[in-house]
Structure 1
Amino acid sequence: MASNPKFQVFKSTSNNQYYYRLRSRNGEIILNGEGYTTKQSCLNGIASVRTNAPYDSRYDRRDGWSNYTFNLKASNGEIIGRSENYTTRTAREGGIEAVKRDAPGAPIEDFS
């Protein structure tokens, strides 16, 4: 198993866009990026995640019926990452803490 945490960059075969995902220490995907038309834009998105991840105010927490998620936003309010679905608020908060802890120093693994 590859070392974690890490960002993984990949290109979709269905739409030719670049995406990133952030894997936590345990290998679980904790954050997904939007589609980017260029690899450089995707890498810029990762740089923005690294910059914004430590700040709690950048996390937009969403509550649904047995479904808790969060979005990570840049300082301009643009969503730069979306979480997986969590079944409890506590689990979601754990996901946010993992992004805060792991994103700033996570290396990039390029699959594109």
Structure 2
Amino acid sequence: MPYTFEIYKDKKEEFRVRFKASNGEKMFSSEGYSSKVAAKNAIKSILKNGPTAEVVDNSKAVKKAAVKKRK
């Protein structure tokens, strides 16, 4: 099975998008959208902008903040 985008409705009846790996594992899901068209536009945006998006690693900043709280 290939990687897929799945549009579904949540408990609040909002449309959401899930991205699933070829093994069926959910890799991420979106915020809720009021319409299916908006959910489809989110997929289009990911496909268009994702390949050139910068990766921002904030894990070090979070770790430093956690250390400061312990003192």
After TM superposition, the score normalised by the length of structure 2 is: 0.71
- Deviation by residue 1:17-54 (Cα, 9 ceiling, x = unmatched): 00001112232222211110001000000100111111
Runs of 5+ consecutive residues of structure 1 not aligned to the other structure: 66-112
After TM superposition, the score normalised by the length of structure 1 is: 0.48
Higher helix share: 2
What root-mean-square deviation, in Å, do the aligned CA atoms of Structure 1 and Structure 2 show? 1.7
Selected match of 1:37 from 27, 30, 34 = 34
Give the letter aligned to residue 9 of structure 2: K
- Percent of aligned positions with the same letter in both sequences? 25
- Tell me the number of residue pairs that the alignment of Structure 1 and Structure 2 aligns: 61
Closer, same or farther: CA 44–56 of 1 in aligned 2, 3 Å: closer
Which structure would you say has the larger Rg?
A: 2
**Where do 4+ consecutive residues of structure 1 move more than 4 Å?**
none
Aligned to 1:60: 56
Higher strand share: 1
SS at match of 2:23: coil
Deviates more, 1:23-32 or 1:47-56: 23-32
Runs of 5+ consecutive residues of structure 2 not aligned to the other structure: 64-71
